Chain A
Amino acid sequence: MLKLNKNIAISDTGYVFDPSIGESYTLNPIGLEIVELLKANKTDNEIKSIILERYDVDDATFERYYIDFTGMLKNYQLAKDE
């Protein structure tokens, strides 16, 4: 399960600040929505169900973008698998 690092600050506007290194990032609205779900301790499958229900997107397309996005979160050390 992917876990966001505890000290990461995320604003309502999608501005992300990693205080351990002073780096900041911006999320688009869907990115912010996914990060909020990760923050609420939702699993990958739960997040998938929620997004598929809310948006007009097929399973394969979602997974492709989700893997890419979560890979980026891990790469920037904002989240890690637990």
Chain B
Amino acid sequence: MSRKPVTIAVTGLNNIDSPGPGIPVIRGLRESAFFEPRIVGLAYEKLEPGIFMHDLVDKTYMVPYPSEGSNALIERVLEIHRQEKIDVLIPNFDAELYAFMKSAEVLRKAGIATFLPTIAQFEERHKSNLPEYGERYGLDIPKSQAVGTLEELEKAVKEYDFPVMIKGKYYDAYIVQNLQQAQNYFFKISAKWGTPVIVQEYIIGTELNVTALGDGEGNTTGAVAMRKTYITDKGKAWGGITIDEPRLLDITNKVMQQTKWRGGMEIEMIKSNDKIYIIEINPRIPAWVYLAVGAGQNHPEALAKLALGMKVEPFESYEVGKMFVRYSYDMIVSIKELEKLTINGEL
């Protein structure tokens, strides 16, 4: 059977020590037995490694950060679309999702399919809203508070025993042992991601994660559970293994069913004294998604099919005990490539 040609635009080409999911998503798409994809990379920074991975990314275009205004980003995507005829767009950053969700209809009318959560779904699982989310859907969530000032921070950390977690609204999480450390990280995180900063009760236990895909009608199209076996100093998985813990999948199904989540999702959980807490819900495919592909569930392919309005049968199982081991690799790049990218905004 010949594969269906499709042009898919992907962000998150920053395959660095805290990697974006773009390259793993592209690897999943490249391994699809159904699609023959042309991959258009959308990059925010000129040194995102994926730009130079020509065996994975056919062409890359520079795009403006969403912080420069979502209109500028969408206009640029539409300009690229006129050249590339993008069929599907898969955004991979939390911080850009809002712009793409807001413009999903504009993109659809132009012929670009997406498969994203609604703004309401996106907002309610925010770290700052997680306690209410847990209450609403009957899920165990550590106690947490969103704080915007030093006074609020001090008040919040006093309510929990040290250590406590200090988290940014999009990224970054630190364990702190005293008020001074909490203040330091409050400044560091708020300077980078703005406020609120989240103060969360620290739960001692084993961190387990699930990458999942919801069809928007309450069904889980796919879900794979993993334990990080090697964690970088930034808290990112540098190695992981698929696990068989049915309760994680039960929780995932419950979240999908009750929220009717549409698109990719990562649920970060902690197993503590046989109780499982949700510590974070990320509204996109995680950077370790290629493990799911390797374990038998090609979530990027399924996401692209859902975006194109195709019916996708839910995955029923995956291989347990499958591991990923990440590595770093130096590419040699000609200055001519950087020149072309800088001058023309494309490569």
Contact = CB atoms under 8 A, between A and B. Distances in A.
Interface of A: 7, 9, 17, 19-23
A21 B208 contact: yes
Interface of B: 206, 208, 226-227, 229, 240-245, 271, 320-321
A19 B245 CA distance: 7
A54 B72 CA distance: 78
Contacts of A22: 226-227, 229, 240-243, 321
A19 B225 CA distance: 10
B241 to A, nearest CB: 4
A22 B227 CA distance: 6
Given A21-B206, A21-B245, A22-B242, 16 more contacts: A7-B244, A9-B321, A17-B321, A19-B243, A19-B245, A19-B320, A19-B321, A20-B243, A20-B244, A20-B245, A21-B208, A22-B226, A22-B229, A22-B240, A22-B321, A23-B227
A12 to B, nearest CB: 16
Nearest to A19: B244
A74 to B, nearest CB: 14
A80 to B, nearest CB: 11
Contacts of A9: 321
Contacts of A7: 244
Contacts of A21: 206, 208, 227, 243, 245, 271
Contacts of B243: 19-22
A9 B321 CA distance: 10
Contacts of A19: 243-245, 320-321
25 contacts: A7-B244, A9-B321, A17-B321, A19-B243, A19-B244, A19-B245, A19-B320, A19-B321, A20-B243, A20-B244, A20-B245, A21-B206, A21-B208, A21-B243, A21-B245, A21-B271, A22-B226, A22-B227, A22-B229, A22-B240, A22-B241, A22-B242, A22-B243, A22-B321, A23-B227
- Residue of B206, B227, B229, B243 with most partner-chain A CB within 10 A: B243
Contacts of B320: 19
Nearest to A9: B321
Contacts of B271: 21
B173 to A, nearest CB: 21
B221 to A, nearest CB: 23
A11 B4 CA distance: 43
Nearest to B242: A22
Contacts of B227: 21-23
Nearest to B229: A22
Contacts of B208: 21
Contacts of B206: 21
A19 B321 CA distance: 7
A20 B227 CA distance: 9
A17 B240 CA distance: 14
B164 to A, nearest CB: 25
A29 B271 CA distance: 32
B205 to A, nearest CB: 10
Contacts of B242: 22
A9 B226 CA distance: 17
A31 to B, nearest CB: 21
A19 B229 CA distance: 13
Contacts of A20: 243-245
Nearest to A77: B274
- Residue of A7, A19, A20, A23 with most partner-chain B CB within 10 A: A20
A23 B240 CA distance: 10
Nearest to B245: A20
A21 B242 CA distance: 9
Contacts of A17: 321
Contacts of B321: 9, 17, 19, 22
Nearest to B247: A20
Nearest to A23: B227
B256 to A, nearest CB: 22
